[in-house]
Structure 1
Amino acid sequence: MADHSEVLRGIRKYPGVSYPTLVPNMTGLKAAIEAGAEEIAVFASASEAFSHKNINCSIEESIRRFKEVTEHAIKSGMRVRGYISCVCGCPYQGAVKPEEVVRVASLLRKLGCYEISLGDTIGVGTPGSVRSLLNILLDPTAERNADEKFSSSELAFGIKVIDSSAGGLGGCPYARGASGNVATEDLVYMLEGMGVSTGVNLPKLLEAVHFIHGVIGRPPVSHVAQVMAPPSVGLRLKEDSHL
């Protein structure tokens, strides 16, 4: 996170687009404010074991740490988004009970998070397990969840915010098997094929994906990026083959 301020200052910002900045503590919040951030993100885990491995504290301790951060951010006019990791399973403790996810989600909402992202950190979730989790989280009879807003990948529940990463980049170094994230280009291709308009320009997205993978020196892992390379990329690959 050392270069987050430099990145935030350097990107071209477009009206109507959110640029949330991950903030772990007050030092990070101060840097985000100085860099012009308008929205921050805080993260907690639904797994005690993962919380200790990832940020070296319990879930309750992490929430107490975030309390000062979120209060100061909201007073400064910033929006706060919450993230929960390991909602479907943990590499250290195994299964994670839905009730634990509900508990952490409620704590984040009390901190003032306007939206909560549900993260299947190691990719063990199935359509069945995700539906079971969302049935509990979004139970209209449960007063604690009446105001919850969630971000997941379950369209059947009317959820329309899905987190992904261009080229599938990312992953958590503290989670075995978390080699990357859902590739944005695969997600956009699937949704558009289902008749769901995303507003994303897929050819432009693919140009960005191949650019960043060229910078890091490895080919993209997503299916769409492999079979739908932009013409400029295809030309470069053809030229490279003659070397």
Structure 2
Amino acid sequence: MFGPSWGDGGFYCHRWPVRAVERYTGPWNKTLANPILVIGNKADPVTPYVVAKKVADALGDSAALIQQDDYGHTSLAMHSNCTIAALQNYFLDNKLPTHELHCGTDQPLFPGSGLTVASLDKLHPVSNSTSTSNTSSSHGELGNALQRNCNLLIATIALAAATGLVLIVSLVSRIHRRYKLESAYGAYIHPGASEKTIEESGHTHGPYVLSAEIKSGGYPCIGA
């Protein structure tokens, strides 16, 4: 019910058609049965500390204020041992600070990396021999991987060279074959030339040539 409007649900209260019967309607100057712990961050961009102080002042003796020298929204934005201890006293023992409490933070705003080689050695203590053997094993695996990559590169280059050589041989063979065909075609006497010579000499014979068309001096066609 409240999931989609969490955070801004207060802006829709005036649209509710009913009023809760258990709501508190005053008076507003009474002392609370259970005092309230109010916490405000010095650098909270959403709920600033000045507003938290106004709330605590309005409640008077029914509230205690913790001023947390912290960044971010809410008191849990950055870790503070002081604030955590005050919350434990409040929720477990129902105890409030007797005066306005100032709590600092135990977390740097921009923490650096605490991971170093020395810290890793402390977390994983091993003997020098084991460390040396692991290092040697790592170097051996790296060398094997480099050798495999080198062999693969050599095989790829050899395959490319063989493919190129086959293409060159095929191209030269085609050129040589074409040259031989052109030479043979040049030495070949086209049949049309001899037929033309025979026609000019009057020796024209064929099944579709009439005897009247035979020139003088020619030979008659001899039938079978």
TM-score range, shorter chain: under 0.3
Normalised to the residue count of structure 2, the TM-score between the two structures is: 0.21
Higher relative helix content: 2
**Higher relative contact order structure (alpha carbons within 8 Å, sequence separation ≥ 6):** 1
TM-score (norm 1): 0.20
Q: Which has the larger radius of gyration?
A: 2
